[in-house]
Structure 1
Amino acid sequence: MTVYQKLFSVLLIGLCCTTVVAQQLQTIDRIYDSKIQTVLLFPQVGTNPNDPALTLNPPVISLDEQVPLQLEFDDLTADYRSFRARLVHCNADWQRSVLNDIEFTYEYNDNPITDYQVSLNTKIPYYHYRFTIPRVKLPGNYVLVVYDERNRNNILFTRRFSTYQNRVTVAASVRFSTDPARQFSDQQIDLALNYKGYQVISPQDDFKVVIRQNYRDDREIRGLRPTNVLAFDQVLEYRLIDLSNTMPGGNEFRFFDTRTVLSRANYIDRIDRNADRNIAYVQVDQPRSRGAYIQSDDFNGLFVIDHRETGNGATNADYIETIFTLRIPEVPNVDVFVNGAFNFWQLNDRNRMSFDSILGAYRASILLKQGVYNYDYVVQTTNPPKVDEAYIEGSYSSTENDYEVFVYHRPPAARADQLIAYQKLGVNKRR
């Protein structure tokens, strides 16, 4: 076999493996292996790479600033396992694009994850892994796929991230809804898009605008059409009167602090320090859907991992069985969930609550790493399936929220959507 034949065989095997992974892949944030916990993906900004607050930044980076994305996760099997990572390119709708790996990567798209540490002095042992995401060529949407090196079909988890290059200008603002019936509950996002100097054939049709609230993929506005096209100024205005650019303001998130188990921190009722694990009971919660809005500071649903005694949450923070209690009467034909970024905003068996008739309250037990967590409660009707976050928490236009504006475009002769503008803005920010 010649050198060229060997090279062709290697490439063919790689393409086959890629096809297998792609066929099983869901391009969402999801953990498939229950032993994988606390999957964090964030930009490495600032001078302190171990600052726990770094994880409060969304995995959205500029290709022009050379800021790397850092992946961290834990394996609770407490045995070393060999993992590999690869990238999948997606269009604006997060569907896999037709691009080949060589079109969006600088190097071979299959990397071993070799940086790991063993947990220290924890009752629940784990391996902590780190991986720096390789640079990509194109601005757009990507899914990081981590799988077992010994079995490429065994996908452990997937995480979304985006890269952008600002080629057009976005001017956005947030205010309460112009609808009198919703002005106290909803927030409205108005924006204008200046594409001067950017080549586009049909600006009113070619740009795809996405608005996201609090970095949540379940809180997005898509499909907006410009209300005004200023052709001479090369500006598109999005000031919709049909209220399609409004979102419920929600409420400030509840939170609790488990950075230490030596004493009770904020909103922790008690801690049981058993031989095999620690159990933390979050203070009993009540509904907040009635009454006036109450101002409080939060992480907008996110969380940070930290360990008060050592300052090293990566390997010194233990996993704690965290008990949530919501005191409300049993609600027929609905499921109640503890919601937050700790579960990728997904509603499943991990964060589902069950009604305890003796306590007269809903309860859930979730294994969480030590830190400070934001959360809230949502209900989901079974028939038809519908999620209602305001039923327990309420919704107020005075709530402090973060918003992101993504602008996608597929340039002429390009084969995939590119992220050509990104802006982050807030509303009701506290000074």
Structure 2
Amino acid sequence: MRSFFRLFLLLNGVVMVQASAQNLPTEDRIADPAIKTVMLYPVLGNDPTDPAQTLNPPIIDQSVETQLMLEFDDLTATFRPFRAKFVHCNADWQRSILNDIEFTYEYNDYPIQDYQISQNTKIPYYHYRFPVPKVKLPGNYVLVVYNERNPNQIYFSRRFSTYLNRVGVSATAQFANDPQLRFTDQQINFEISYRGYPLISPQDDLKIVIRQNFRDDRVITGLRPTNVRAFDNLLEYRLFDLKNTFPGGNEYRYFDTRTVLSRGNYIERIDRKEDRNTAFVQTDGIRSVGAYVQTDDFNGQYVIDHLETRIGATQADYITTVFTLRMDEVPNAELFVNSAFNFWRLDDLNRMSYVPDLHAYRADIQLKQGVYNYNYSLKGIPPPVSRSGMNLTGNETLIEGNYSDTENEYEILVYHRPPASRADQLVGYRRIGYNKRK
């Protein structure tokens, strides 16, 4: 009887763990409002402390010794025990059926032990760093961080990918071929060489994803080759239906809060109080009318830095950042500040409110000192229908406009499920820029 009871508890525990695992998130999301500035990036170059490291997307080549680094802040200002684990996903970011042992070298449960306490900041916080362990298979992964004492309490999740270039990708970016989209959209033509890589059905075996500016809300999927050159082992993607086109958008707005001792770029004023600092970003306006204006940006990303010490990780303070957009109130619609700092999610954190006295929308968002790119997005008025069929959650065109001259970064990701494999692998990766100026 006692043995049966122990077996019952063991089986019940396994079922509970499996059920809990099935509920793990597979998207970029912060569930705990005290967790801020979650960054996941590859450590490149000779200076790992360079703030610009974080501008690179969390995608690494498995054939090269590149370290992924996770950093985040806990504004509870008390030590909390964090742990991390991997979730393996297919090309569509749905969880695969692989067991942990098939894609990890160690037990899939990692303590996060490297932390520092903020220094000389009005808002105290703990800063955590976690070198991401290597994985076995190329593909999509989600890094889930949770409470060590309660694994069901998930704090946040971040996506990343690893690849092995088994196929070659060559690509060009240009303005759209359609005369009606010539001044608004950008087109990505590409070829895939699979010489030396076995494909049973070349026109069907590969899954293609094209992403704009590292944004998971700006992706094109489901593309099929327009020509299969079997003798050359080459797939051509030159689509006449323009399903390979993206709205060009506009250059991102930006501001600089690396110092509170003076006004940085596009900062109107800074209020310095005993318990916190408040930075007012210069009042913005609608940019969807008029000509395109060329400016440099980070393609929607941000950099954490502290001008006086260059130690942004622990000496950059959290500032209440005030955004103001002067425009008429839009009935039955919601307006948001949109940026990588919120994973491009349109939610309560970055929702704006209309202030009749200012004749403008306004939002107060707590952000760490640095240089930020952002734009504005509207929910309630559908965006223009894209030829590519992208499912856009917000309408950026109404406020920011679309211009084919906009400088953008594109990624082409090629997935394949080899014979006898049970999950998609990332077998080709290519980054290209359009209208690059730096």
Q: 1:427 aligns with which of 406, 411, 434?
A: 434
Contact 2:381/2:395 (8 A) holds in 1: no
Tell me, in whole angstroms, the C-alpha distance in 2 between the residues paired with 1:11 and 1:361: 60
Tell me, in whole angstroms, the C-alpha distance in 1 between the residues paired with 2:22 and 2:75: 27
Contact 1:17/1:152 (8 A) holds in 2: no
**2:270 equivalent to 1:263:** no
SS at match of 2:155: strand
Shift of 1:12: 7.2
SS at match of 2:249: coil
Q: 2:411 aligns with which of 404, 409, 412?
A: 404
| Offset from partner CA, 1:259-315 (integer Å, 9 cap, x none) | 000000100000001111100000000110011110000000000000001100000
User: For residue 426 of structure 1, what is the amino acid of its counterpart?
Assistant: G
Residue in structure 1 matched with residue 272 of structure 2 by the alignment: 273
Tell me, in whole angstroms, the C-alpha distance in 2 between the residues paired with 1:227 and 1:335: 40
Contact 1:20/1:153 (8 A) holds in 2: no
Shift of 1:78: 0.2
Pairs aligned (count) = 425
| Offset from partner CA, 1:215-269 (integer Å, 9 cap, x none) | 0000000000111111111111111111110000100000000000000010000
Q: Structure 1 residues 113 and 334 mapped into 2: Cα distance closer, same or farther (>3 Å)?
A: same
Shift of 1:21: 3.6
Tell me, in whole angstroms, the C-alpha distance in 2 between the residues paired with 1:280 and 1:180: 44
Residue in structure 1 matched with residue 309 of structure 2 by the alignment: 310
Residue in structure 1 matched with residue 67 of structure 2 by the alignment: 68
**2:32 equivalent to 1:29:** no
Tell me, in whole angstroms, the C-alpha distance in 2 between the residues paired with 1:80 and 1:308: 27
Residue in structure 1 matched with residue 95 of structure 2 by the alignment: 96
Residue in structure 2 matched with residue 358 of structure 1 by the alignment: 357
Q: Structure 1 residues 47 and 348 mapped into 2: Cα distance closer, same or farther (>3 Å)?
A: same
| Offset from partner CA, 1:50-77 (integer Å, 9 cap, x none) | 1100000000001000201000000000
Residue in structure 1 matched with residue 157 of structure 2 by the alignment: 158
Tell me, in whole angstroms, the C-alpha distance in 2 between the residues paired with 1:75 and 1:114: 13
Contact 2:73/2:128 (8 A) holds in 1: yes
**2:290 equivalent to 1:291:** yes
SS at match of 2:314: helix
What TM-score do the two structures reach when normalised by structure 1?
A: 0.96
Shift of 1:388: 1.1
Shift of 1:47: 1.4
Q: Which moved more, 1:21-30 or 1:60-69?
A: 21-30
Contact 1:272/1:280 (8 A) holds in 2: yes
Shift of 1:19: 2.1
Tell me, in whole angstroms, the C-alpha distance in 2 between the residues paired with 1:57 and 1:260: 24
Tell me, in whole angstroms, the C-alpha distance in 2 between the residues paired with 1:56 and 1:93: 24
Q: Structure 1 residues 92 and 9 mapped into 2: Cα distance closer, same or farther (>3 Å)?
A: farther
Tell me, in whole angstroms, the C-alpha distance in 2 between the residues paired with 1:53 and 1:310: 16
1:203-242 correspondence runs (5 A): 203-242=202-241
Contact 1:307/1:316 (8 A) holds in 2: yes
| Offset from partner CA, 1:2-23 (integer Å, 9 cap, x none) | xxxx9x9999798556424423
User: For residue 303 of structure 2, what is the amino acid of its counterpart?
Assistant: V
| Offset from partner CA, 1:367-404 (integer Å, 9 cap, x none) | 00000000001111178995211100011000000000
| Offset from partner CA, 1:142-190 (integer Å, 9 cap, x none) | 0000000010000000000000000000011100000100110000000
**2:420 equivalent to 1:392:** no
Tell me, in whole angstroms, the C-alpha distance in 2 between the residues paired with 1:240 and 1:330: 40
Q: Structure 1 residues 13 and 194 mapped into 2: Cα distance closer, same or farther (>3 Å)?
A: farther
SS at match of 1:331: coil
Tell me, in whole angstroms, the C-alpha distance in 2 between the residues paired with 1:87 and 1:9: 28
User: For residue 97 of structure 2, what is the amino acid of its counterpart?
Assistant: V
Tell me, in whole angstroms, the C-alpha distance in 2 between the residues paired with 1:247 and 1:423: 17
Contact 1:128/1:315 (8 A) holds in 2: yes
Contact 2:382/2:394 (8 A) holds in 1: no
Any stretches of 5+ residues in structure 1 without a counterpart? 1-5
Tell me, in whole angstroms, the C-alpha distance in 1 between the residues paired with 2:133 and 2:13: 18
Q: Which moved more, 1:383-392 or 1:107-116?
A: 383-392
Tell me, in whole angstroms, the C-alpha distance in 2 between the residues paired with 1:74 and 1:10: 38
SS at match of 1:323: strand
Contact 1:139/1:164 (8 A) holds in 2: yes
1:187-206 correspondence runs (5 A): 187-206=186-205
User: What is the RMSD computed on CA atoms of the aligned residues?
Assistant: 1.8
Tell me, in whole angstroms, the C-alpha distance in 1 between the residues paired with 2:17 and 2:338: 34
Shift of 1:26: 2.2
SS at match of 1:152: coil
Tell me, in whole angstroms, the C-alpha distance in 2 between the residues paired with 1:259 and 1:87: 34
Contact 2:117/2:314 (8 A) holds in 1: yes
**2:167 equivalent to 1:168:** yes
What TM-score do the two structures reach when normalised by structure 2?
A: 0.94
Contact 2:382/2:395 (8 A) holds in 1: no
Any stretches of 5+ residues in structure 2 without a counterpart? 1-5, 384-391
Sequence identity (%): 65
User: For residue 193 of structure 2, what is the amino acid of its counterpart?
Assistant: N
Q: Structure 1 residues 379 and 236 mapped into 2: Cα distance closer, same or farther (>3 Å)?
A: same
